[in-house]
Structure 1
């Protein structure tokens, strides 16, 4: 479980970095769009608006990757064993229950890490594809309008 906690911490840091980058790119795209339309450069403005939309979608995925979720921590509370001690349960039975519980917690944590990783990957894909798609659509619209 120690390694899962380290992975979870790294995943949180990655998600925070992705969110910060996505928001910064969204703000830059919005500023570029505003400046482009004010200076009568509609094609650059259109490109920037499309970029802004893509970066907002990436930020949404990054935010979903960063949101707080249930995650099982390391160890047990001593109070968890009071009933076992009172009922004079054997150490062997207690260890068997702990092993079963630990297995469930590890599987649960792994599923959480995979789901958060998928959201982060979706954000990365959107950040990567957005400028390409925005340029392609802007070029296509320009050609359609001017032919």
Structure 2
């Protein structure tokens, strides 16, 4: 399949509509997932969808009384070619989250995502406002 901005948006729309399970159905089980940074507890490198979900995704979910509403702010696609997997950069904005302590939680994300020839996500490198994440976890776990 040819990777396009419309296809990438269709995958990420599952996150913006609150259907994370549908989004993760597009992620291979042995995904290579990196959350960048070194000054927050969720920075790390995972080699499976299960371990990323358990050690990272569910931790932030556990400190939220109300999840953020994500929106797709932009998508840039580098097409596939001989010997090259497709890659997309997805800019996300999360607003309206509410932490257990009653404080608002908003964040912005930039995910560099690699896709295989079947349109499944094989690797993610996630960038975000790590100070906001660190503070949210420290004050609410």
TM range (shorter): under 0.3
Larger-gyration structure (1/2) = 1
Q: Which has a greater percent of strand? A: 2
* TM-score between the two structures when normalised by the length of structure 2: 0.28
